[in-house]
Structure 1
Amino acid sequence: MRAVTAGQPAGSRRHKAILQALPLLCLAVSGCSLPGGIRLAAGEAKILVGTPVRDNRTPMDPALACLAERASAKQARVPVIAVGDVRDFTGKFSVGEGNAVTQGGALMVASALGKLGGAVRIAERFDPSIGERELGYSDRRQLGDGRQHVLGGTGAQAPVPWLPYYGGSITASDFYIVGGITEVNYDIRSGGVEARVNSAGPKHRTYTQSVAVDLRLVDTRSLLVVRTISLTKQFTGYESGFGVFRFFGSELFDIGLGAKGQEPLQLGIRTALEEGVLRLAGTAIGIDPGECLSKAGWISEALSTSSPLEVRKASDPQIAKRRHPSGE
């Protein structure tokens, strides 16, 4: 937003009034807000502080909580699932902004498995470097815990300061998940309208893009692919505004007001990966996730809960009634 004057001094009353009104127009039209600030030490300038940290919620939280609850009711053997490399295969990159999509797909998949609670156990295979290093220390009798240990079967021997290791401490996985983000399609559909009369008028535009993820569940022992999943998601953005570009008397005014927004791309990728995890985990557990998939979606109670199971409980009064017959 800007105002340019011609033929009048910069300090004219009309010019000053418009400049003073522009911040108010910003607040009223486009929803601008002024963040607060805090001073961390005496004599320091205040630093801007935005919203507080929160749990990273997605529309799949109620569905994941549903599967966790169904698995606990089934009381079946809890499968051990590992996460392999789930990375970006799109190759989309720009000099100014770097990679177009997240490089943390494997981390998102592991977090999605964590939202299932006790329905599955997660075996670390993505970065086992610390565990492997400490096993190497144990093999060289260098690893200790500050205590003395008596070696098994040799009670007469003096205690040793290093941890004895006889092998077999690492739990085997039953399945692992691998795959990647395979598509990002820009501007698959766009449209809009703009009208101006005497260089003044509104405009509105929309645009759509999409991404796709491909995952597979693999049996760790046989290396047979148990199930494959291919999911896609569209993202919609918009831009709207109103502009004036014209002379009023001897003064030229160029004023633009508007707003634009887009569904977060990386959040959408996380949501797609979580749905893939839900379907693959259902296969590993032996439960059809179809009923739980129907419960995916944003719910207001998710903002005040601390776990996916509580999100599911808040969204289903029957569950709350079964757990608390008094209704409290």
Structure 2
Amino acid sequence: MEKSSRMSLYKKPLLALALAAATAGCAVVPEDMRRETLNAGDVPLVLSSKPTPNNTPLTAKLVCYGERLEDAHKGHIALAVGNIRDYTGKQNDLEGFLVTQGGALMAYTALGHLVPGVALYERFDTQIADAELAYLSNRQLGDGRLHETTDAQTGQPTEVPWKPYYGGSILQSDFYIVGGITELNFNIQSGGGELNVNNVGGKGRIYTMNVGVDLRIVGTQTLKVYDTVSIQKQISGYEVGLDIFRFFDNDLWDVNAGAKNQEPLQLAVRMAIESAILDLVPSVTGVTPQDCKPAVPLVDDDAYEAIGGKAVTTRASVALESDPA
């Protein structure tokens, strides 16, 4: 066989291999991706990044605001979170609910960044505490030690293995945050283009959707609603692609390559809840997060006030005076 003939046999496989490698390059692969066997006899698993704190661009602003609250109130204002449900009604037959059902958990995490500037109390899931208080009242709960108490019949001091309980161990909250995820609007704006010449071409598309939350802050003892807020967050994404479907000499080539990316939906929900908390908490504390900046600039504070941002300081002072909590 001649040299030129042998070369022609290798050209097409090599070209196909190069094209496959180029197509694979469209996907972003983590640099630290590796295969590890965690237990003897197990199939190796693909491992990439390590667990990291689930911070958002607003985390730094929440921490800064918490430091200001600590200077002003020393944690004397107690907050809690009620149920923050998904009210969008949007479901997927294959994957269940489209929007996270953990709105209250996200709100608690956001308020946790304000501690010790505020006191944070559990009200969302009190199952364990309720069970142990029931054990206490039935004289069933102990800690492995003997406790001194007074015998009800003789009036004499005695030691018992159960913990005596005289009530009042649960501290009251002053305000709580409640509400829900109320909007999920698909494709509020989209656009793009596509061009094909002789079955060779490319396409590109951009699209935007949004999610919204409605929250309120309520006085625990009076049930007075001190402030309400509605926050929406737009979510953008893009898609680009390249398609080839045509004959080259006697070979039919069918090649598809592209990339698609979208801002995470649940991250947008978390940021909307965090933004709502930054609006609600100043209404009952009298301390604003002014000059506290997010890690990634999102909106200019002056521009926010110009389009109707809340002047919370005056209303907050009235709220604190009117609610003895």
| Normalised TM-score (structure 2) | 0.83
1:70 maps to: 68
2:86 maps to: 88
Shift of 1:71: 1.3
Q: How far apart, in 2, do the equivalents of 1:54 and 1:297 lie?
A: 16
Q: How far apart, in 1, do the equivalents of 2:121 and 2:131 lie?
A: 17
Q: 8 Å contact 2:70–2:118 — kept in the other structure?
A: no
Higher mean displacement: 119-128 or 171-180: 119-128
Q: 8 Å contact 1:90–1:181 — kept in the other structure?
A: yes
Superposition map of 1:265-276 within 5 A? 265-276=265-276
Superposition map of 1:175-324 within 5 A? 175-292=175-292, 295-298=293-296
Q: Amino acid of the residue matched to residue 263 of structure 1?
A: E
Q: How far apart, in 2, do the equivalents of 1:99 and 1:14 lie?
A: 50
Q: Amino acid of the residue matched to residue 137 of structure 2?
A: D
Say if 2:17 is the partner of 1:20: yes
Say if 2:28 is the partner of 1:31: yes
Q: How far apart, in 2, do the equivalents of 1:290 and 1:184 lie?
A: 30
Q: Amino acid of the residue matched to residue 267 of structure 2?
A: L
Aligned partner of residue 72 in structure 1, secondary structure? helix
Q: How far apart, in 1, do the equivalents of 2:41 and 2:75 lie?
A: 60
Aligned partner of residue 158 in structure 1, secondary structure? strand
Q: Amino acid of the residue matched to residue 21 of structure 1?
A: A
Q: 8 Å contact 2:151–2:157 — kept in the other structure?
A: no
CA shift in 2, pair 1:43/1:137, >3 Å = closer
CA shift in 2, pair 1:66/1:33, >3 Å = closer
Q: How far apart, in 2, do the equivalents of 1:114 and 1:152 lie?
A: 41
Q: How far apart, in 2, do the equivalents of 1:29 and 1:95 lie?
A: 30
2:146 maps to: 148
CA shift in 2, pair 1:255/1:274, >3 Å = same
Provide structure 2 residue ranges, at least 5 long, that are not aligned to the other structure: 1-8, 298-325
Q: What percent of counterpart residues are identical?
A: 44
Say if 2:39 is the partner of 1:41: yes
2:312 maps to: none
Shift of 1:97: 2.0
Shift of 1:115: 1.2
Q: 8 Å contact 1:245–1:253 — kept in the other structure?
A: yes
Shift of 1:14: 4.6
Aligned partner of residue 273 in structure 2, secondary structure? helix
CA shift in 2, pair 1:123/1:152, >3 Å = farther
Shift of 1:286: 1.9
2:300 maps to: none
Q: 8 Å contact 2:150–2:158 — kept in the other structure?
A: no
Q: 8 Å contact 1:208–1:235 — kept in the other structure?
A: yes
Shift of 1:29: 3.5
Shift of 1:106: 0.5
1:112 maps to: 110
CA shift in 2, pair 1:92/1:20, >3 Å = same
Higher mean displacement: 146-155 or 166-175: 146-155
Q: 8 Å contact 1:147–1:161 — kept in the other structure?
A: yes
Shift of 1:32: 4.0
Structure scoring higher RCO (CA < 8 A, sep ≥ 6) equals: 1
Higher mean displacement: 27-36 or 135-144: 27-36
Aligned partner of residue 124 in structure 1, secondary structure? coil
Q: 8 Å contact 1:67–1:282 — kept in the other structure?
A: no
Q: How far apart, in 1, do the equivalents of 2:168 and 2:150 lie?
A: 16
Shift of 1:27: 4.2
CA shift in 2, pair 1:122/1:77, >3 Å = closer
Describe the superposition over 1:288-314 as per-residue Cα deviations: whole angstroms up to 9, x where unpaired.
Answer: 23433xx12438xxxxxxxxxxxxxxx
Aligned partner of residue 196 in structure 1, secondary structure? strand
1:325 maps to: none
Aligned residue-pair number: 287
Higher mean displacement: 37-46 or 216-225: 37-46
| Normalised TM-score (structure 1) | 0.82
Q: Give the aligned CA root-mean-square deviation in angstroms.
A: 2.1
